Structure 1
């Protein structure tokens, strides 16, 4: 049985069927349960209870619990970004704007969530603080996806209604897909980056994970301080594309079945879906052949910290950051120019389409044990990391927006459907996603 989303909980609050205190108590119980092992790096349950008691019932978030990734400043806390290298840093003086907006809307922060160190991995493994197990499988501990790993698990298990995170190459959408929840990556410029440790200033996006698309709309409106223009266009009113270049390569059986089943249902509901090559995707390898934005820009930020605290970094993360040292200034400038030209070409190829549909990630969550540090498992880690980031990172390079929503059957491991487009198509993507979610939740799901 799916957990109630924020909207339905607010309705219950209005009808006196629950209270903010009751909901916070349930969230705290979930946070203390075995399903939230390694999820929170710091909790503030007593403070959040006092805050919830002061929130007006009419506030958008009504005193309900939210979690924040350990990437964001929270006044009085040290922001460690999931690393040991920053544990001695000065506490934040003020909240990051995104955190402040959630609190001003009536959200109570129950804690800071675990993450891939410095947000530099789509797997979600953290050797310093432990890896939160994916709640989708009670028998086999599986990866949660990263880098917003703890936030995804907190939402999926009932410890929070909104998990504030970041997305540089898929760090919201990957854990959302693997944990069976919703993750919306907005156009990067719409949300403030201040008060969050950077990975790549070019690609970083502040965004959130939720239990439903309508909750994603609300979370985005709060974090971006803007209203989504809502329309009720039926699925028959959308023209959709499926990109066949790379996006469907190496898809495992569970993902393939869920994706094809979803496309069939969308077509049966009247949606027009065309397969297109979108061959420009294959050019990303050559465009980034001298290194990508994340390596170069993270090295520029970490260079001095590495000199002082390099031994305290996750070796896998350090390796990826230090690759940025090799990029020359002219190569970085050429990368910027090549990206701009590529964005224009993809925009032209997508003209006339309302969105592109793809599997969010091509595989279901693998076991944590298969990717633990050491020996051949390091090779497996980097292989899986690249696979998890492959589809989602296309949208970041496009400076676009995307949403991942669950499309798996009840007896399957979670699978995410990604709907995406270029910059500032956010409202259309969200409106489409509401229609897709309504279809998938009202249609009997069979394997």
Structure 2
């Protein structure tokens, strides 16, 4: 990457200056208080939730309520179908069975009402005493909002030994962009993502064809073997989500999804990421061009106030060993509007698919503004192309207000080493007074 100057970065101290004092940082995850407190758990292997007292299996075809006083076991592929609503009390624990690849699927037309509380979250976790990523399946919510696929999609490949009577309950997609599949609020999903023969890994939370009126807020997916949050089509908004040390992608959007992702956190570890090139945010419109109708809308994501962090203690060494990749991946025929986001410790910060031609039309559909690029080995590149001068000139324009830094994580964020109550917000006034790109990851 071409560099013209090396910039000495200055901390911008504003305390005591009238009219400029702010109670919180504007970039990355925001909040007057640390909204991670109370409901998240960054060491779930130290939790013991007790033995199951109730079993969930087969199909739930009538409105059903799960109660906190019981601990439930997902035995095999469990479906909420026939337009039924599954209501879950705050504090309820649901355990996915390891031996039968326990999973929960909310079929199209049905709903889940999982409304936990900040002090009493709903927990989905592993049945094993020594928990590992991929111990059980995961949660799949299927709706009837549009996708760009030819015909409707299906998740049947994830569900091995599927009862033929349930094939109809695996379909997603339709014309109702406003549809509601219910609410997930203050929910933790731990150690999901079991591997299947046909579809690869389950995901922590799969949202397929999910409509606008579905609420996904304060959901934490930790140690998923597949993607943490995977969105296929639909128009769902996700707010205050946490992906913690997943093997797959943290947030993946595909098949014409028209989505918003706000005030959310992804923390990656270079030592447990997938060799397939997992990203914090991956925006695609197809896996294979022939499976989608390119006359329909491609995937479009609006992303604001994200913190995307690679938790590496020796970043230069981890990059040299091929353990760290780009934080954000932008695919062909997609739109991304990302702003006020922190991308810290990646190689590089952003990669465009090689099919994305660098011209004004495409650059106007892929926006990065008021960004904070920290300690990345380069910023924005096209895949397999080391010359990014055009991209640097475009996104380095002062009109975008993008800023650059080279600062260790411990100095950048408030308190990320507190295992019990970490705080991944930027330190107050940890924004630099330059929009030039410094040399990063050097000696």
The alignment's TM-score, normalised by the length of structure 1, stands at: 0.30
Structure with greater Cα Rg:
2
Higher helix share goes to which structure? 1
Superposition TM-score, scaled by structure 2 size: 0.30
Higher relative contact order (CA 8 A, sep 6+): 1
